[in-house]
Amino acid sequence: MVQLFGSDVPAIVAVMLFGEVAVFCVYLVAVLFAAVHRGKPHHYMMLAAFLTDILVFKPLMSMRAFGDVWGGYPWSGTSILRHMVLDTITLVIGIATIYLGFKYRVKRENKMFMPPARKKIHRVVGTSFIILWLVTLVVGISIFVESYLP
């Protein structure tokens, strides 16, 4: 147990909470890189954040929510189902965004860029991904508050 916000919280829950907030910060920096036309840093930061989220934090959360790995189901009466549905939709849109980013990127003279028409498609899908990811994060934080804070 870890003392967090005046409550005892399982250590793994604290790791997941701070990990997801860190992933969101990386997403924000990557979006800023895209806004200032820094394709390569944007590309690698988004990919690293997405893979870290999908390969590290989502499996931990799924095991916590549906298994008895770190104790019983802690979220009865909360919005865990809505969170998991949003998370699944966000995963699919994230994969589509990455696919579009790889498919339409052009490398010339050690620089990456996207043709304007293709860039618009990637931008719309990517913006949808970031918005849905943020909504999912907010729902997850609300579950944390309902479950662990007095």
Q: Per residue in 12-22, pLDDT tens?
A: 778 888 999 99
**What are the boundaries of each domain within the chain?**
2-148
Q: Per residue in 90-147, pLDDT tens?
A: 999 999 998 888 777 776 677 666 777 777 888 899 999 999 999 999 988 888 887 7
What are the distances in angstroms from CA 81 to CA 5, 62, 73, 143?
25, 11, 12, 11
